[in-house]
Amino acid sequence: MNSDTQPNVFLVTGDDPAMIAAETAKVIRRVAGDNPDPFCLDILREREGVALADLVRQAVRAVLSPPFLGGHKTVWLKEFSGFGADSASATPKTPEAAALRELAAQIVKGLPADIVLVMDGPGADLEKPLAKACAARGKVIACDRPKLRNRDWRSEMRGLIERRAADKGASLPAEVVDYLTDVIGTDTGRIEGELEKLICYAGGPGQPMSREAAEQLCVGQGEELPWALTNALGRRDVGEALRTIRVLLEEGRDDGQGARALLGQMARFYRELLQMKVFMAERGLRSPQAVVGALQRLSSEEKERYREEGLGVVTGNAFRGRPLAEQAGAYSGPELIAALRGLRDAYLRCVTSGVPERVALEDMVIRTAAPAAPPRR
């Protein structure tokens, strides 16, 4: 890509969904405007009944089709979950890998000057053909969540908070940034909401913001990094879950209180997985990618009915449905029910029998998240 020209290929990827969404929104505003003409913005997204390989090939056809009535056109492959299929092998082994290589080859050839291609989603390998093609002909934006065990995670989080505040036209005092870092931990998904609360309370982006206001509005949840433990449980990674518990409890002041909070976090997580299983069974949904569309199509009346029936998880953010469905797939229904009963009993043992909370917590992680034994032959 010539340094004097604007790129017309963008790939936004990494392991941080919140930052991927924020960076992609910035790219779309830059290339398509705040209120894009629907005839000039072609959005391709996953939906039930359309294979990922077919969706990628739709993107190839879209970038080769001229804009309607002339002008410029933006093609947006939105929230794509299949980038991990890109293979380093010379011979594609799956339909998805073959389609992604076709897309990479087209990017290498060059897109028409009046076409902009934007792609976002997790899991693209920066050393594989698609990402390399995007880096050579356009721009790759990597959005990786700061890692809890990295001793520099606080400075990384401060930088993310400051950049998101600057995007909103706000400048935060260092003491406010430090406080938000302590409250949020590495949960980047909370940055947007906390900044919006502060800006609204101050009366606008340019108004002064104090630490006192931040302390009043932005409160911790009792478990600083809620994603860390549940992500490990969702993968049934016992070792990572136990390491996360150790780090979280070592940072807290009250080992027992922190362990009780994490027991509650586990219970909420397994309830959500069980609710998602019930929803998928009721709707006949066979894949996690189908869940997002089904949640988006729910009417207000249906959401209220599900809430009354105890399936409140389906009334939240639709895009959280996919990872929950993927994690629910790692457990059977009976396993989730047994986990919830075990967590209830563990909490009661802590209260009535004096069992140390941390012992009960670690025992429950091992009992619930250890991979299921294969059936005997």
Tracing tokens 């019930």 back to the chain, one arrives at 278
pLDDT of residue 92: 59
Predicted TM-score (pTM) of this structure: 0.57
Nearest to 65 by CA among 40, 102, 32: 40
Rounded to a whole number of angstroms, the CA Rg of the chain reads 23
Tell me the residue length of the chain: 377
Provide the H-helix boundaries in the chain: 17-32, 52-64, 95-109, 129-137, 153-167, 174-184, 191-202, 211-217, 226-234, 238-251, 255-283, 288-296, 300-308, 321-328, 333-352, 357-369
Reduced to 3 states, what is the DSSP secondary structure of residue 178?
helix
Sequence letter at residue 22 = A
| Kind of pairing between the strands at 9-14 and 73-78 | unpaired
Q: What is the dihedral of CA 220, 233, 252, 195, to 10 degrees?
A: -20
Decide: helix, strand or coil at residue 40.
helix
9-14: strand order across its sheet? 41-45, 73-78, 115-120, 9-14, 139-143
pLDDT at 252: 56
In whole angstroms, what is the distance from residue 176 CA to residue 188 CA? Answer: 16
- pLDDT tens by residue, the chain, 377 residues: 444 468 999 999 999 998 999 999 999 999 998 888 888 899 999 988 889 999 999 999 999 998 877 788 999 999 999 998 875 544 557 899 899 999 999 999 999 999 999 999 998 999 889 999 999 999 999 999 888 767 788 889 999 999 999 999 998 999 999 888 877 888 888 898 899 989 988 888 888 888 888 887 886 644 445 577 888 899 999 988 898 888 778 755 566 778 888 898 899 999 999 999 999 999 999 899 899 889 999 999 999 999 899 998 888 777 778 889 999 999 999 999 999 999 999 988 887 777 788 899 999 999 999 986 555 55
Could you give the CA distance from residue 345 to residue 38 in angstroms, rounded to a whole number?
55
SS3 at position 336: helix
96 near 83, Cβ under 8 Å?
A: no
DSSP result, 243-270? HHHHHHHHHSS-HHHHHHHHHHHHHHHH
**Would you state the pLDDT for residue 222?**
41
Q: According to the model, what pLDDT value does residue 224 have?
A: 44
Q: What's the CA gap between 5 and 309, in Å, rounded?
A: 55
- Ordered structural domains, the chain, with CATH: 9-143 (3.40.50.300), 153-217 (1.10.8), 226-369 (1.20.272.10)
Residue 363: CB atoms within 10 Å: 14
Within 10 angstroms of residue 235's Cβ, the number of other Cβ atoms is: 15
C-alpha distances out from residue 12 to 40, 85, 116, 184, 190, Å:
20, 16, 14, 23, 20
Residue 352 CB neighbour total at 10 angstroms:
8
